[in-house]
Structure 1
Amino acid sequence: MAPDLTLRLATVDDVPAIDGLIVRAVHGLQRADYSQDQRDAALGHVFLTDHGLIADRSYFVAETRSGQLVGAGGWSDRRALHGGHTHGDTGERIDPATDPARIRAYYVDPAYARQGIASAILAACEAAARGRGFSRMAMGATLTGVPFYARHGYVAHGEEQAPLPNGQALTVVLMERAI
């Protein structure tokens, strides 16, 4: 990650900036993988600020010296693969002895893509999950994120369709790795 960027835990005060980051990331980085209609319908439904991660203090943000948020991502010890409406996160906790921790809600500003931000956030998430006793991580990755996660040792083991309110769906790739 560039030396002029810092990584820290997100707070409730960051929500408006995270919301803006999500829109920039989804429309700027996912256009080759999902249609405009899919992206529009997914915003606020599948792609949204994960308030549960912020409350759990497991959501990281990367920011510039001027305070602009340019990346976000987190991990969870809750059952749901993501905090979007399609999974209805009940808050049920998972057991680190038998279940993988979840990687959730990763977004990078297109102007800062491929500068190590997502890698730094992923390393922070994996370290925090290891510290809580987890030995595996799992996620439902967007098609856009699959190459990134594969470079970090995550292996695809299936797909699911995240339904959208416009009747369409997003393909999500289920991935996992030992940490």
Structure 2
Amino acid sequence: MPADDPTPVTVRDYRPEDAEATLQIFVDAITRTAAADYTPEQVQAWARPGQRSVPAWHEAMQARGSVVACVGTHVAGFSDVSDTGYVDMMFTSPRFARRGVASALIRHVEQRARKRGLERLHADVSVTARPFFAKHGFVVLAEQHPVTQGVTMTNYRMEKRLDGAS
């Protein structure tokens, strides 16, 4: 879908039938989009394409209270926010890049956090996602070097204060 397609982005709660699509978005976002900022070894360790089961993925998505962004009938991205304000996942399908999908998701997550009375959002953000999060008011607290599948990665602990949380 072209970036100028006027189909609006909507955000709704994750459903069991979203498991396969969201897993594919996760893998595609890492192997295609984040691949510009990470080595092939890092991409494989992080995405683990073909090694994740849809039932286990579904269980994890439900446990995080995930939401999905849709463009028309297509699942275009997903995110979540915990009761402590931690954003564990924020991924957009490369097919829907530059369509406002991630922006719709972060606004939804922020609204959800405000409704819970949270004072901040925080996340461990990839090199690729750092500019997006900064654009949306997050600041870097620390550069981190976690090890995933025996491979050292780089990400950033970022935070956004939620002024006027209700």
Identity of aligned residues (%): 28
SS at match of 2:154: strand
Match of 2:127 in 1: 143
Q: Does 1:64 align with 2:71?
A: yes
Shift in Å, 1:5? 3.3
Match of 2:139 in 1: 155
Name the CA distance, whole Å, in 2 between partners of 1:68 and 1:144. 23
Structure 2, unaligned runs of 5 or more = none
Match of 2:104 in 1: 120
TM-score by length of 1: 0.77
Please give the residue correspondences for 1:167-178 in structure 2 after superposition, counting only pairs within 5 Å. Answer: 167-178=150-161
Structure 1, unaligned runs of 5 or more = 78-93, 95-100
Match of 2:114 in 1: 130
Please give the residue correspondences for 1:1-179 in structure 2 after superposition, counting only pairs within 5 Å. Answer: 2-44=6-48, 49=57, 51-57=59-65, 59-65=66-72, 67-77=73-83, 94=84, 101-165=85-149, 167-179=150-162
Q: Deviations over 1:33-70 (max 9, x none)?
A: 1111111111249xx7474452353x1111232x3211
**C-alpha RMSD of matched pairs (Å):** 2.1
TM-score by length of 2: 0.82
Count matched residues: 152
Aligned 8 A contact 1:2 1:116 in 2: no
